[in-house]
Structure 1
Amino acid sequence: MTQLFGKIRTTPLLWLLVFVPVVLAVEASRPGAHTLLFLLSVAAIVPLAALLSLATESVAEKTGDAAGGLINATLGNLTELVIAVTALAAGQYALVKASIAGAIVTNALFMLGASFLLGGLRHHVQDFNRVGARFQASLLFIATVALLVPSAVLAADKVSDAAAIQTLSLMLAVLLIGGYVLGLVFSLGTHKEAFSSAGHEDHGESLPIGIALVTLAAVTVLVALVSHIFVASVEVAGEALGLSPAFVGFIVVSLVGGAAEFASAFSAARKDRLDLSVSIALGSAVQIALFVGPVLVLLSYVIGPSPMGLDFWPGAVVMMLIAAISAAMLTNGGQSTWFLGVVVLMVYAIFGLTLYVLPPVSP
């Protein structure tokens, strides 16, 4: 613990952790101060993300980048799962679906592109494990296809049988979760040698594995609590700023909810550990598509006012498909430069601008 406190004392960004108890106290005493809560929650999430990044890198030093990326993606997506479950229980299915689609696109494009850019600005050319990246990209494409099927059937065949669509969504949810579990067995078990890192150096002193795991668990809980406050306040702020629910769920919630993963991926890329960055980015997108989304469908039968399907509005369908195809194409070569990151970020910016200017009528 002394080593952890030492890092907090010597890292100015981590001094912002003081905002964590402040935002929790303000939420308890002044729950109606939405603008203040919004600002405080953002100020609290940033240092929590940095601390989670530090702990994740320490775990990755001991487990390898493939497992380290899985751990980071799981803990990062736990925050988004808590946010989505809260909205699910309130029957805000539009926000839930927007956050699912947004998390897939944000992780596959924004996180991956920014990692390429930040790493490329320090290193001329960076290499990463092409086999692992292609595996994750293939899983993402297959999962995206499964998520698009109910929407495509509704649009193309003009199916009006809501019960049939819901039955299909339930069957697909079970199928996707099974595929995700088998993918873990393949990448971390039977063929784990194919997913070893392209090579990296030991960059600095890491935390002991026990302290790192405890830190991961504690910070994840705090991030979930602060993110919940953020979402509750950002909806009111979004209405005041003229932001549609689709934009709030697709862009704002995804960016803030993924702050911890971003910090880990960006830090790893700057240290020439692009394997870890790619594993976090694509692994998180795959986990949302194959596990988090389907789990939310199953949970809707228990905590939701009615079952939720896997049908999305047409714009989300197009964006998720383009993101999956882009990720597959960009990771096929096993190398990256800073300009490749710029290109990916441009695609994400196009999506964000389109949602802001042309919000969907009924997401």
Structure 2
Amino acid sequence: MSGSGLRLAVAWGSVAAFAVFGSGWLASLDSPLWAAFLFAWLFSVIMWAAFGVVHEAEELAHMLGEPLGTLILTLSIVLIEVALVSAVMLSPKSVPTLGRDTMFAVLMIVLNGIVGLGLLIGGLRHHQQSYNLQGTSAFLSVIIPLATIALIIPNFTTSTTGGTLSTLQAVAFSVFTVALYGVFLMIQTGRHSSFFIHDGGQMVRSNADVPADTGTQDKGSVKGLTVLKHIVLLVANILPIVLLSKSLAAILDYGIEALGAPTALGGVLIAAIVFTPEGISALKAIARNELQRAINLCLGAATSTIGLTVPAVLAVGLISGQTVVLGLAPTEMTLLIVTLILSTLTFSGLRTTVLEGAVHLIVFFVYLVLIFSP
């Protein structure tokens, strides 16, 4: 059996096992060893399936080219994130701050942790690395207002208190967020797709410019079947993660409460589970001196996270009647503002060095300390 086949067999076998025996297993979480075993099992399977998602998305990226390939990967990963967050929110023990904590954790992990480590590795290995400034500017021009609307403005509205939004604000902000993200996708995949490719803006000729012949048509058919196969495998790797997310959410809820851990740790764990494979993919790209692909992955993940998670979290809150807290605490708001300013400065030139990586990493380490010692 191939590695991909084994991964799918284990993932779907776990889905079947929890579908049949899960309710009984989750009723025995008062045993620390049993709870740790179930968490390790689900964590390993979900992480392995997430690597499968990354693998299939990278195969599609090679066949479809950039930026479409990277976009498929980021959307797949964010879909997993939304599933995990929604599962925890709909669990018996509601966590009103989970969506906020997860989005903030993603921004800190991606924009400071992965970007910082990546630029440090790239600077040490390649001294300086270049990228397409237009694409990076487009990412940041969307990330900054979306992050501000979602995580800062709720602290200063007067219709409600405690970092929450009124029903009108929740609906309106969701529509605005989706609309802006939709416009960005049109730019990224349409007439300005060259912004996200570091090749001087030169685009490969489309198939319409190439004379059609039988050989070309045959190759096109084979490529179409290959693309379809990888899309099916991509979905087959995503579904077990979505189906197992509810069981993992129950264990996370119990573990955080039993250990007396900070509630923000739940968001950090979800972000780590979801974005570790994509982060490794970005670091590998930087090591190969493919900074543009890494930027597309990192900034694309940040953009997709806010653009899709905010409407999903608010929709779950409105439908289930749960309170959703989006506004960050003052310390976290400060870190977010510093991160956004720092990202703008880091990607304001045409090349990056070790210094930018070191600064981003320091901010990330400060974030980690503040989780356990706010």
TM-score range, shorter chain: 0.7 to 0.9
1:140 Cα deviation from its structure 2 partner: 0.6
Question: Match for residue 143 of structure 1?
Answer: 146
Question: Match for residue 352 of structure 1?
Answer: 368
Give me the whole-angstrom Cα distance separating, in 2, the residues matched to 1:15 and 1:316.
42
1:235 Cα deviation from its structure 2 partner: 3.0
Q: Which among 112, 116, 124 is matched to residue 109 of structure 1? A: 112
1:16 Cα deviation from its structure 2 partner: 7.3
**Greater C-alpha Rg:** 2
Q: Which among 292, 296, 300 is matched to residue 275 of structure 1? A: 292
Question: Match for residue 60 of structure 1?
Answer: 61
1:226 Cα deviation from its structure 2 partner: 4.2
Give me the whole-angstrom Cα distance separating, in 1, the residues matched to 2:364 and 2:237.
28
Which runs of 5 or more structure 1 residues have no equivalent in the other structure? 200-205, 359-363
1:167 Cα deviation from its structure 2 partner: 2.5
1:292 Cα deviation from its structure 2 partner: 1.7
Given that residues 50 and 238 in structure 2 are in contact (C-alpha distance below 8 angstroms), is that contact kept between their aligned partners in structure 1? no
Question: Match for residue 263 of structure 2?
Answer: 245
Give me the whole-angstrom Cα distance separating, in 2, the residues matched to 1:142 and 1:318.
16
Question: Match for residue 217 of structure 1?
Answer: 235
Give me the whole-angstrom Cα distance separating, in 2, the residues matched to 1:127 and 1:16.
36
Amino acid at match of 1:238: I
Given that residues 127 and 274 in structure 1 are in contact (C-alpha distance below 8 angstroms), is that contact kept between their aligned partners in structure 2? yes
In 2 relative to 1, CA 183–235 (structure 1 residues): closer, same or farther, beyond 3 Å?
same
In 2 relative to 1, CA 167–349 (structure 1 residues): closer, same or farther, beyond 3 Å?
same
Q: Which among 112, 125, 130 is matched to residue 127 of structure 1? A: 130
Given that residues 19 and 44 in structure 1 are in contact (C-alpha distance below 8 angstroms), is that contact kept between their aligned partners in structure 2? yes
In 2 relative to 1, CA 37–341 (structure 1 residues): closer, same or farther, beyond 3 Å?
farther
In 2 relative to 1, CA 218–122 (structure 1 residues): closer, same or farther, beyond 3 Å?
farther
Q: Does 1:179 align with 2:197?
A: no
Question: Match for residue 261 of structure 1?
Answer: 278
Given that residues 187 and 193 in structure 2 are in contact (C-alpha distance below 8 angstroms), is that contact kept between their aligned partners in structure 1? yes
Given that residues 297 and 307 in structure 1 are in contact (C-alpha distance below 8 angstroms), is that contact kept between their aligned partners in structure 2? no
Structure 1 runs of 4+ aligned residues shifted over 6 Å read: 14-18, 161-164
Given that residues 154 and 163 in structure 2 are in contact (C-alpha distance below 8 angstroms), is that contact kept between their aligned partners in structure 1? no
Amino acid at match of 1:320: L
| CA offsets 1:94-145 (integer angstroms, 9 cap, x no match) | 2222112222322222232233344445444322222111210121111112
Q: Which among 296, 300, 305 is matched to residue 313 of structure 2? A: 296
1:58 Cα deviation from its structure 2 partner: 1.5
1:278 Cα deviation from its structure 2 partner: 1.0
| CA offsets 1:50-94 (integer angstroms, 9 cap, x no match) | 322322221111222322221111100111100111233244212
Question: Match for residue 287 of structure 1?
Answer: 304
Which runs of 5 or more structure 2 residues have no equivalent in the other structure? 29-33, 201-222
Question: Match for residue 216 of structure 2?
Answer: none
Amino acid at match of 1:273: E
In 2 relative to 1, CA 306–215 (structure 1 residues): closer, same or farther, beyond 3 Å?
same
In 2 relative to 1, CA 245–41 (structure 1 residues): closer, same or farther, beyond 3 Å?
same
Give me the whole-angstrom Cα distance separating, in 1, the residues matched to 2:349 and 2:250.
42
Given that residues 50 and 274 in structure 2 are in contact (C-alpha distance below 8 angstroms), is that contact kept between their aligned partners in structure 1? no
1:158 Cα deviation from its structure 2 partner: 9.8
Give me the whole-angstrom Cα distance separating, in 2, the residues matched to 1:231 and 1:242.
16
Identity among equivalent pairs (%): 19
Question: Match for residue 233 of structure 1?
Answer: 251
- Cα root mean square deviation, aligned: 3.1
Q: Does 1:308 align with 2:295?
A: no
Give me the whole-angstrom Cα distance separating, in 1, the residues matched to 2:227 and 2:194.
23
Secondary structure (helix, strand or coil) at the match of 2:97 reads helix
Give me the whole-angstrom Cα distance separating, in 2, the residues matched to 1:176 and 1:344.
27
| CA offsets 1:185-239 (integer angstroms, 9 cap, x no match) | 122113223322348xxxxxx9943332222211122233344443332333333
Amino acid at match of 1:171: A
State the number of aligned residues: 339
Given that residues 129 and 352 in structure 2 are in contact (C-alpha distance below 8 angstroms), is that contact kept between their aligned partners in structure 1? yes
Given that residues 65 and 279 in structure 1 are in contact (C-alpha distance below 8 angstroms), is that contact kept between their aligned partners in structure 2? no
Given that residues 150 and 168 in structure 1 are in contact (C-alpha distance below 8 angstroms), is that contact kept between their aligned partners in structure 2? no
In 2 relative to 1, CA 95–148 (structure 1 residues): closer, same or farther, beyond 3 Å?
closer
Give me the whole-angstrom Cα distance separating, in 1, the residues matched to 2:300 and 2:178.
14
1:160 Cα deviation from its structure 2 partner: 5.1
Give me the whole-angstrom Cα distance separating, in 1, the residues matched to 2:261 and 2:323.
27
In 2 relative to 1, CA 243–310 (structure 1 residues): closer, same or farther, beyond 3 Å?
closer
Secondary structure (helix, strand or coil) at the match of 1:65 reads coil
| Alignment TM-score, normalising by the size of structure 2 | 0.79
